[in-house]
Structure 1
Amino acid sequence: MSPGSGGHGLHDRYPRAGREDVVHRHEMLRVRGRSVAWVPPLLLLTAIAVADYNTTGEFRIISWIVLVPGIAAAICRVWETALFAVLSMGVYTLVDSAWPHQFQAGLPDFILVALGGVLATLACMVRVRGERRALHMRDVTDTVRRTVLRPLPTGWGGLDHAGIYLTADAQARVGGDFYDIQPGPHGTRVFVGDVQGKGLGAVETAAVLLGTFREAGFHERELTTVADRLESRMRRHREYTTALGRADGDRFATAVLLGFPADRTDVVDTVVFGHEPPLAVGPDGVRMLPVAGGLPLGYRDLAPGPPGMRRVPLTADETLLVVTDGVTEARDGDGRFYRLADQVRRAVATDSRLVAPARLVSFVRDGTLRHCGGHLTDDTTAFAVRRTRVAGGEGP
């Protein structure tokens, strides 16, 4: 993928992020774009017929032909399964009639084969209907994911960017982690975070926060005002869910809010809501931005007052890396946490090209999965940005 592609190519390329098992099975049963699902049941049908014809009369296996439509029901289309059911009955009749009368299996086994074919066809119909429903739900989930994690154009807001997003639940495809970039007349703002909890409630909260960020990030001059708007929206959303009597009325979110001023190219403004501070990754090393972490979004009432914003120097060749706790809390078999900063520091010292956002998030993804053996216990997001030009202009 290109460095500024927003990371969706990385996300789609990793299997835990996505597809239903039925899709993988259909892909494996294709050769040069054509389905070969009919080959296994056909080979089984032929093998049983040939084996039965060459056995002794005391040990016949022609009734095993009932397995053929059963195998077809698991991997073939409905009409193919029905065809194999008919073929099985036809082959049974031909092979059985070739034997002397005293060795013929006769009508009872024929009824077994016929009944097996009917049941296999019905089972195939149920399977195909379930697959279509699963594919439909996948499309719905993908639409939700594109709404929450909208595709980001290359160079959006004057930033070279890339992101990866892996869900702990391979079938869910979307969770409470989020990231976005919003350019505007006062500079470009970046928002990365993690909603507490899982399920549709976390997705809903992420969508609410992102909607507020996209409006406030464009219109508001001060980054602290954007932070105030996000806090206010989080509290209003909690009041709403509480009024509905939902159990997630105390939900909160940790996040990092970054501002790249339109009139400065050597600094970045930061507001941290109970989140791990960003890492500045450059050819000369890795450093954690010296920012104080405030309370998570939704808990401002515990420490009233404006959010703390800090302006930090940032060189042109430094990339800012923000990750969620799916990375920092990943454990290996011995229970040890993934030491992200140390791993990135060693990798950059070996290859300075790793500071490019796309390379950096790929490294974080691979390192996290390798450390935890592919067993993610939480949604995992890594988002990297660096300035490519003076940000400005209007966004959607």
Structure 2
Amino acid sequence: MRLRGRSMGWVPPLLLLAGIAVADFNTTGEFRIISWIVLVPGIAAALCGVWGTAVFAVLALLTYVTVDSAWPHQYQTGLPDFILVTVGSILAVAACVVRVRGERRMLHMRDIADTTRRTVLRPLPPGWGGLEHAGVYLASDTEARVGGDFYDIQPGPHGTRVLVGDVQGKGLGAVEAAAALLGTFREAGYHEADLATVAERLETRIVRHRNHTAALGRKADGDRFATAVLLGFPEDAPGAVDAVVFGHEPPLAVGPGGVRQLPAGDGLPLGLGELAPARPTVRRLPLAPDETLLLVTDGVTEARDRQGCFYRLRDEVARAVAADPGVTEPRRLAAHVRDGTLRHCGGRLDDDTTVFAVRRPPHPRDE
């Protein structure tokens, strides 16, 4: 409980302490409620720190002795209730110690999860790689705060590359696979001139990662794969984008004139390349200067409402753009899809959810 940044957790137990004392003074001798004061340190244990709870435990004991002594001897509750209040106060302080330790442990684990997320999903500076972008990541496991979805932008001498994907499965195994793919993307995306070579490097990396986890005896990770979209923004073709789709939901091109879906391509998910007769095709697709590419994972497309209906992403985005063409700006577009997904599923995410919007600046900047 906080008010203007200050903790107000001491207010309820203090009001309860005063209320019980005043009420006991105004009752008849046959009906005493002073022993109810044992509730005060119990309430404090849930709202205050250890020292605060200890203070209320002492105050409860002192108030009990003071109020009970004010009554004639025949109406005093005596030693049994004093023992009750004493034992209750001690247990309340002990419970508060356990609660505070648990909260500190949870905060420590959250810090670790945040560090892991910043390592896997590194923060992207505004205008990184000469692109306007906005990303939203929501983990289905709110305690873990990081899962198998991934995205990144890698500028380099051969243009800027973008990768968005989703590792099959959940848990630390999915996080490890995502980290492996992102590490390879950051290196290959910078050094390799051919986007097809970057795609091959990603396929090789997840196969090597699976072999490594299988050698460790982690059979559950031995068949892990990932869907992904690999984009290249060539410097010599400002009106086009190169795309490789690895079994992922194709990007949407969102512009003031409407919403269109880019071709799905012929690529299989990363890790299943050995089943394909040839390596995936790199397609150069036209992209208008005012169009934003919208990429999402299945946490968006498979979000269901209470009736079991899927979230209709393309229709919802088209409706929003028709009402306000400014929604095509990456930050607004990502926020709109995030809010729409959460509203559609009532805030209950069954899978990790990533929304990533990216476009060339409407007016190219001079580097």
Please, what TM-score do these two structures have when normalized by structure 2? 0.97
In structure 2, C-alpha distance between the alignment counterparts of 1:195 and 1:288, rounded to whole Å: 22
The answer on 1:147 being equivalent to 2:122 is no
The match for 2:313 is 340
Describe the shift of the 1:235–1:141 C-alpha distance in structure 2 as closer, same or farther (beyond 3 A): same
Written as runs of structure 1 = structure 2, the 5 A alignment for 1:241-390 is 241-246=213-218, 247-388=220-361
The answer on 1:237 being equivalent to 2:209 is yes
1:351 is aligned with what amino acid? D
In structure 1, C-alpha distance between the alignment counterparts of 2:265 and 2:119, rounded to whole Å: 31
* Kept after mapping to 1: 8 A contact 2:249/2:264: no
* Kept after mapping to 2: 8 A contact 1:191/1:258: yes
1:144 is aligned with what amino acid? T
In structure 1, C-alpha distance between the alignment counterparts of 2:2 and 2:302, rounded to whole Å: 40
Indicate the SS of the match to 1:60: coil
Written as runs of structure 1 = structure 2, the 5 A alignment for 1:103-142 is 103-142=75-114
The match for 2:164 is 192
Aligned-pair CA distance for 1:391: 9.2
Question: Deviation digits for residues 114-150 of structure 1, max 9, x if unmatched?
Answer: 1111111111111111111110000000000111111
Aligned-pair CA distance for 1:36: 1.1
Report the aligned-residue RMSD: 1.3
In structure 2, C-alpha distance between the alignment counterparts of 1:292 and 1:249, rounded to whole Å: 26
In structure 1, C-alpha distance between the alignment counterparts of 2:256 and 2:85, rounded to whole Å: 70
Match for 1:222 among 194, 199, 223? 194
The answer on 1:56 being equivalent to 2:40 is no
Aligned-pair CA distance for 1:368: 1.0
User: Which ranges of 4 or more aligned residues in structure 1 deviate by more than 4 Å?
Assistant: 389-393
Describe the shift of the 1:340–1:293 C-alpha distance in structure 2 as closer, same or farther (beyond 3 A): farther
Indicate the SS of the match to 1:179: strand
Describe the shift of the 1:301–1:206 C-alpha distance in structure 2 as closer, same or farther (beyond 3 A): same
In structure 1, C-alpha distance between the alignment counterparts of 2:197 and 2:366, rounded to whole Å: 19
Question: Deviation digits for residues 320-369 of structure 1, max 9, x if unmatched?
Answer: 00000011111122221111111111111111001000111111111111
In structure 2, C-alpha distance between the alignment counterparts of 1:130 and 1:291, rounded to whole Å: 48
Question: Deviation digits for residues 184-218 of structure 1, max 9, x if unmatched?
Answer: 00000000000000001001110000000000000
* Kept after mapping to 2: 8 A contact 1:262/1:392: no
Indicate the SS of the match to 2:164: strand
* Kept after mapping to 1: 8 A contact 2:267/2:279: no
In structure 2, C-alpha distance between the alignment counterparts of 1:98 and 1:57, rounded to whole Å: 11
In structure 2, C-alpha distance between the alignment counterparts of 1:391 and 1:198, rounded to whole Å: 40
* Kept after mapping to 1: 8 A contact 2:266/2:280: no
Aligned-pair CA distance for 1:306: 2.2
In structure 1, C-alpha distance between the alignment counterparts of 2:341 and 2:355, rounded to whole Å: 10
Question: Deviation digits for residues 355-391 of structure 1, max 9, x if unmatched?
Answer: 0001111111111111112211111111000012669
2:204 is aligned with what amino acid? S
In structure 1, C-alpha distance between the alignment counterparts of 2:222 and 2:116, rounded to whole Å: 22
Gaps of 5+ in 1: 1-28
Question: Deviation digits for residues 83-133 of structure 1, max 9, x if unmatched?
Answer: 111111100000000000000001111111111111111111111111111
1:194 is aligned with what amino acid? D
The answer on 1:177 being equivalent to 2:149 is yes
In structure 2, C-alpha distance between the alignment counterparts of 1:255 and 1:293, rounded to whole Å: 12
1:352 is aligned with what amino acid? P
The answer on 1:204 being equivalent to 2:172 is no
Gaps of 5+ in 2: none
The answer on 1:47 being equivalent to 2:45 is no
The match for 1:99 is 71
In structure 2, C-alpha distance between the alignment counterparts of 1:291 and 1:334, rounded to whole Å: 29
Number of residue pairs matched by the alignment: 365
Identify which of structures 1 and 2 has the higher relative contact order when contacts are C-alpha pairs closer than 8 Å and 6+ apart.
Answer: 1
With 32-41 and 95-104 compared, the bigger mean Cα shift is at 32-41
1:172 is aligned with what amino acid? A
Aligned-pair CA distance for 1:392: 11
1:324 is aligned with what amino acid? T
Describe the shift of the 1:69–1:274 C-alpha distance in structure 2 as closer, same or farther (beyond 3 A): same
In structure 2, C-alpha distance between the alignment counterparts of 1:243 and 1:123, rounded to whole Å: 45
1:129 is aligned with what amino acid? R
2:226 is aligned with what amino acid? A
1:341 is aligned with what amino acid? R
